[in-house]
Structure 1
Amino acid sequence: MARSSARESPMLEIKVHGNSSPPDANPSPSSHEFKPFKDWASWLVPAIVSINVLLFLVSMFVNNCPAHSNKCIAPRILKRFAFESIKINPLLGPSAATLVKLGALEYKKVVKERQEWRIFTCMWLHAGVFHVLANMLGLVFIGSRLEHEFGFLRIGVLYVFSGIGGSILSSLFVRTTVSVGASGAIFGLLGGMLSELLTNWTIYSNVYGAISTLILIILINIAVGILPHVDNYAHIGGFFTGFFLGFVILIRPQFKWINQKHVPPGYIAPTTRTKYKSYQYILLIISLIALLVGFVIGLILLSRGVDGNEYCSWCHYLTCIPTPLWNCDSHCRLEQLGKQVNMTCLHNRRTGSFMLEDAHDTIEMQKLCLELCS
């Protein structure tokens, strides 16, 4: 935001990595499907759910709404765990300032203040009760199936790297909002399910039906991302990260190789020298290159402060499409000269002039805008 010239700037708001609905259909593999990790204890998904719920409670404790507002929800019952007002946070949760304090993704903090660790921490925070419940429900349905098939180590890697990939893409396009949530990681699990179906298609009895169902589920969830306050960039980045990573870590050996390793005495199994088929190796190499190139370029662009919107004029429609039911524009128009900010609410046309201690304090601008529009 330039000091010497007036320009329009959107208010800061909480941008959530929206919920991922669990699949309605479970692709059924054939009876001879190889399940190398079926006896492993499934503890990863319960651990992730517990961490996310615990951190949400911590964020509410730190937020302590009654200490700074008299418009909290249920302060007598919930005490310092009381929710912010609906106008501040419609998802029943803490304020954006608290989320930023705990590690939410915000462009200024990541790029200008060199707090790159927020790319990782934002995926463990949630904006409200509805947000954390929806995401954890999706994780239980999607992640539990994958963990049962491939074990906690592979799915843990898939989950974390998908979340980071979603955060990187979000940072390149989302400049004026706070972004939190695990949906980038959960979309990565969906992407991994799709690549697993493609690379291991020979073991499934109805692979075309399974792929069609999964693609439909993915498209529906991405379509939800065009709603306001949902960070679809994190969804898309997480999905493609998980999709390519799935070809690398969710690959299954071919049956000839398995049979020759476990053939009973007196039987002759078909022999093969390679553990995987040729097309599996090709997909693995292409995916490794895509992941390496994508992460390196993304991190370089992010470190240089490149704004993806300047190179893609239509990309903003990926995260919000304006309709008669909602508006994707900013809530307040700002005219700033040094530390003085002249603000106009776009809904009720009320105006106000304010002095800021920090000319780039977007959290304070959000609070002032909310007060002006209330």
Structure 2
Amino acid sequence: VYLLIPIRPSPRPVVPPLVYSEFGDDDELSPQWTSWLIPMFVVANVIVFFATMSVNNCPQHSQHCVARFLGRFSFEHLRDNPLFGPSSQTLEKLGSLDWFRVVEKHQAWRLLTCIWLHAGVIHLAINMLSIVFIGTRLEQQFGFVRIGVIYVMSGMGGSILSSLFIRNDISVGASGALFGLLGSMLSELLTNWTIYSNKIAAFLTLLFVIVINMGIGSLPYVDNFAHVGGFLTGFFLGFLLMARPQIKWLERQHIPQGRRLTSKYKPYQYILWLLSLALLIAGFVVALVLLFKGEDGNDHCHWCRYLSCIPTSRWSCDSV
């Protein structure tokens, strides 16, 4: 006797919803790269610093060097450089950011070379530790090409804004590039908002870090214009380079053929992409035109000087 046993179609496997952690570290579907560019940037900065100290050769021109046992690598007197580093003359000779040389002497290359120079060991250590902490994770998530573009472009954006507002001092450091990485983290969180869990906590934490660092930048002798310029550049680049596909696109192999998605990204991500591209291009073009026309940014924005230095009873901001 044959029994007729109804055959039920196998149920479609249930796919658990894909949810990113607050910064995407637990996303198994996102490719993971080995971070090598950020370590190379750190090594390059350290090598440049040693080369700077070698060129500086403090014992050759001063009897008051710090740590003279280091020979030509000894530091300038702390009265001249409290960060344990070279003289300002050496930094200027090797490519520091200087408005007069950039605009009047047509040395535009200083907009890039200055981000590889540092004023001292303390300056170098703070920047490099921060870059490793922030940049390594970003490179693992998004690859060396995108993070490299953000790093260099943000450094240049910071240099341009700094040159527009600061004329009487030289500026060095990778802080503009570092703040660009911070800015890209913020825009990456915003453009991928719908796929994150713990998004509010991540947003508030990141915002707190940014505000604290911007606040530190308002102290004297800290070039906060480079920080702001780098941050804005990285912020817009984050929308351009860090948008993640919507979750249903990543799960498309489990969606019936007739219901396949036609768009990899959400509409708001395309809108943010277009706005960021337009603002980034316009910002760079306008800033470069104003810079090389010799315009002083302070003439067009009288309150902007307070972005870089807030005068108090303990210090003044006359040099800004």
TM-score, normalized by length of structure 2?
Answer: 0.90
The answer on whether the counterparts of 2:23 and 2:189 sit within 8 Å (CA) in structure 1 is no
Once residues 41 and 78 of structure 1 are traced to their aligned partners in structure 2, the CA distance between those partners, rounded to angstroms, is 36
Kindly state the Cα deviation for residue 145 of structure 1 after the two structures are TM-superposed.
1.0
- Higher RCO, 1 or 2 (CA under 8 Å, sep at least 6)? 1
The answer to whether 1:321 aligns with 2:314 is no
Out of 153, 157, 161, which is 2:149 matched to? 157
- Secondary structure in structure 2 of the residue aligned to 1:167: helix
Structure in which a larger fraction of residues adopt strand? 1
Q: How does 1:137-286 map to 2 (within 5 A)?
A: 137-260=129-252, 263=253, 268=256, 271-286=260-275
Out of 33, 50, 54, which is 1:61 matched to? 54
The answer on whether the counterparts of 2:184 and 2:237 sit within 8 Å (CA) in structure 1 is yes
- What are the ranges of 5 or more consecutive residues in structure 1 without an aligned counterpart? 1-25, 332-374
The answer on whether the counterparts of 1:32 and 1:203 sit within 8 Å (CA) in structure 2 is no
Once residues 319 and 231 of structure 2 are traced to their aligned partners in structure 1, the CA distance between those partners, rounded to angstroms, is 28
Once residues 30 and 206 of structure 1 are traced to their aligned partners in structure 2, the CA distance between those partners, rounded to angstroms, is 13
| Gap change, CA 1:286 and 1:62, over 3 Å in 2 | same
The answer on whether the counterparts of 1:91 and 1:130 sit within 8 Å (CA) in structure 2 is yes
Cα deviation 1:297-353 (Å, max 9, x = unaligned)? 11111110100111222211111112223232359xxxxxxxxxxxxxxxxxxxxxx
Between structure 1 and structure 2, the one with the greater Rg is 2
Q: CA RMSD in A?
A: 1.7
Once residues 85 and 200 of structure 1 are traced to their aligned partners in structure 2, the CA distance between those partners, rounded to angstroms, is 49
The answer on whether the counterparts of 1:226 and 1:321 sit within 8 Å (CA) in structure 2 is yes
The letter of the residue matching 1:194 is L
| Gap change, CA 1:189 and 1:307, over 3 Å in 2 | same
The answer to whether 1:119 aligns with 2:114 is no
Give the percent of matched residue pairs that are identical in Structure 1 and Structure 2.
Answer: 58
The answer on whether the counterparts of 1:30 and 1:204 sit within 8 Å (CA) in structure 2 is no
The answer on whether the counterparts of 2:186 and 2:203 sit within 8 Å (CA) in structure 1 is yes
Query: Number of paired residues?
Result: 299
Once residues 99 and 297 of structure 2 are traced to their aligned partners in structure 1, the CA distance between those partners, rounded to angstroms, is 12
The letter of the residue matching 1:160 is V
Kindly state the Cα deviation for residue 219 of structure 1 after the two structures are TM-superposed.
0.4
Out of 35, 51, 68, which is 1:42 matched to? 35
- Secondary structure in structure 1 of the residue aligned to 2:269: helix
The answer on whether the counterparts of 1:30 and 1:203 sit within 8 Å (CA) in structure 2 is no
Q: How does 1:292-303 map to 2 (within 5 A)?
A: 292-303=281-292
Once residues 152 and 330 of structure 1 are traced to their aligned partners in structure 2, the CA distance between those partners, rounded to angstroms, is 38
- Secondary structure in structure 1 of the residue aligned to 2:63: coil
| Gap change, CA 1:302 and 1:328, over 3 Å in 2 | same
Kindly state the Cα deviation for residue 27 of structure 1 after the two structures are TM-superposed.
3.5
The letter of the residue matching 1:313 is H
Structure in which a larger fraction of residues adopt helix? 2
Q: How does 1:9-20 map to 2 (within 5 A)?
A: none
Out of 279, 283, 298, which is 1:309 matched to? 298
1:347 matched residue in structure 2: none
Once residues 34 and 279 of structure 1 are traced to their aligned partners in structure 2, the CA distance between those partners, rounded to angstroms, is 22
Kindly state the Cα deviation for residue 259 of structure 1 after the two structures are TM-superposed.
2.4
The answer on whether the counterparts of 1:28 and 1:206 sit within 8 Å (CA) in structure 2 is no
The answer on whether the counterparts of 1:107 and 1:174 sit within 8 Å (CA) in structure 2 is yes
2:93 matched residue in structure 1: 101
